Structure 1
């Protein structure tokens, strides 16, 4: 069902009901990111676009029988007048979020130093290595752990960011 939500959002972008966020040149605008049952919606600061997203979410809820968890939802604004922020937040019934925040356990912050972003990841990898040093693992076992576990940690963060 979540895939149907993604398709509905893409269809709305193609039909120019929503604009999304244009990142670069010839690529399509970004309108959403999905992972399992988490969805991040990306759009312009426009009441019509917010209403269009709201309509898509309501249609999804009716068709799937699922409910949008507004208790876990937040809306983030960048370079937006407070009056517009307040109106869109009120209209959607979603509170304004504050940075830094976490999405899929990855900290997101505006303009954050790249060294700080990766510091926690490096610390996590170091902690794993320290616990493995005391185990009786063969060289093949250690290589396997590094390949499977340690490589997955930065790859996951890069895919989220």
Structure 2
């Protein structure tokens, strides 16, 4: 079904009716990003772009039978979009606007509800750390090189949770203090895991040079070079 929506978006772009977003002047236009049960659509913040996008969604609904849930949809504007243009687009599409894309993407924080976890056994804590705490920053770690101080802070949060007193008469159970540092329980070293995830991204750029990600990053950061010889340049983004 998503392929139909993708075709409608590309057709509108080829006819000059719809404009996507570009990460650089020489880079390709990005019209949409498709996920398992969600999608992100890009368009110019103007009445024309909003009407074209609304018509595309109407055609998609009529052909596929899938209705867009506008109550659960959110629109984000660039900071240089005028307020009057924002109101026009919001009223045309009938969706709410937000200035917090991180909240929409569901990026969580590292707060721990000690009331709900204080009665976990050491085995339960181990599962909680591996399946929840160490999984929380994975998305960010796969895209950005975190400062060492931040990696240490995350590990301190995990270590504090691991060594806090449980319900077994307030006695620490499990492993010796150095076991966490040595990865004896399979706990990740956040800094090393960060490097490994970024290396995987680099491998993808080299192995799949025709992917959208590779094309966009090459056009912006190393248009006249390759990944191995790319330079940081002036004021590079966190990516």
On whether the aligned pair clears a TM of 0.5, the verdict is: yes
8 Å contact kept, 1:50–1:88: yes
* C-alpha distance in structure 2 between counterparts of 1:43 and 1:106, whole Å: 24
Distance across 1 between alignment mates of 2:60 and 2:86: 24
The gaps in structure 2 that reach 5 residues or longer are 109-139, 164-172, 176-182, 202-212, 214-238
Task: Please state if 1:57 is matched with 2:62.
Answer: no
Structure with bigger RCO (C-alpha 8 Å, 6+ apart)? 2
Deviation at 1:68, TM superposition (A): 0.4
Describe how 1:1-161 pairs up with structure 2 within 5 A: 1-78=1-78, 79-106=80-107, 122=151, 142=186, 155=197
Q: More strand per residue: 1 or 2?
A: 1
- State the Cα distance separating 1:34 from its structure 2 match: 1.3
Q: TM-score, normalised by structure 1?
A: 0.67
TM-score (ref. length: structure 2) = 0.48
Structure 1 consecutive aligned stretches of length 4 or more whose deviation exceeds 4 Å: 121-136
The higher radius of gyration belongs to 2
CA RMSD of aligned residues (A): 3.7
- 1:98 deviates by 2.4
Which consecutive residues of structure 1, in runs of 5 or more, have no partner in the other structure? Answer: 108-113
Residues in 2 aligned to 1:25 and 1:41: alpha-carbon distance in whole angstroms: 20
Question: Judging changes above 3 Å, is the alpha-carbon distance between structure 1 residues 132 and 39 closer, same or farther for their aligned structure 2 residues?
Answer: same
